[in-house]
Amino acid sequence: MSQHEEDFKDPSSFKHLAMIIVAMFAMPLLPMVMGWFTLLR
């Protein structure tokens, strides 16, 4: 348990966690963005 807390404090681990959160938000938005690009053309 203590090792997991140390991993969470590690900057690289935090960056990985942030990337996962960004991916979770980006996935639903991706089709909408692609739709905008098709409309702009």
pTM equals 0.45
* Per-residue pLDDT at 11 exceeds 80: no
Domains of the chain, by residue range, sit at 2-40
Q: State residue 20's pLDDT score.
A: 92
Between CA 34 and CA 26 the distance in angstroms is 12
- For residue 39, is pLDDT > 70? yes
**Six-digit token pair at 36?**
């905008």
Measured CA to CA, the distance from residue 10 to residue 16 in angstroms comes to 10
Query: Which of the two residues, 37 and 6, has the higher pLDDT score?
Result: 37
Q: How confident is the model at residue 1 (pLDDT cuts 50, 70, 90)?
A: very low
pLDDT above 70: residue 22:
yes
Stretch 15-37: mean pLDDT: 88
